[in-house]
Amino acid sequence: MLWALWRQKRSKHAARLALCQFYTGSRPRTVARTTWDRRDDGPWVDLEQGIWWRAGENELETVKARRPHAIPDRLAAHLRRWKRVHGGKYIAETARDPGQPIWDIGKALEGAAKRAGVKRITPA
């Protein structure tokens, strides 16, 4: 599925989002809202320290605590490359709407499933 997402120019953003979810176990909304720069109102990554801050200091505490965690080395390599090549505010942005987080990758997943020969997929 990831290769099917990555091979299509229009779905590379969905591949980045899915890869981050796979490595971190984070929910889609948390990954989509993650920025490169430190902020108090949402998640961000610190590539120098290798920490993914999944919640800002000023965000309300929820039952599903989003604690910071170490970024796996393989994901860190991807993140560094994406930041260098694509920049932007969020770790995964669509080319048609730069500076905005991704909200829905349902269509991209459907297309990738079809290209990969997967009969049915249920997005999270």
Distance CA 124, CA 121 (A): 10
Average model confidence (pLDDT) across the chain: 81
Instruction: Note the pLDDT tens digit of each residue in 28-52.
Output: 888 888 999 998 888 899 999 999 9
In whole angstroms, what is the distance from residue 98 CA to residue 39 CA?
Answer: 19
Claim: this prediction has a pTM higher than 0.85: no
Which tokens in the block code for residue 14? 């969905």
Which position has the higher pLDDT, 79 or 115? 79
With tokens 């910071």, the residue in question is 68
- For residue 41, CA distances in Å to 8, 45, 50, 119 come to 33, 13, 20, 39
Q: Are 91 and 31 in contact (CB under 8 A)?
A: yes
How do the domains of the chain map onto residue ranges?
1-116
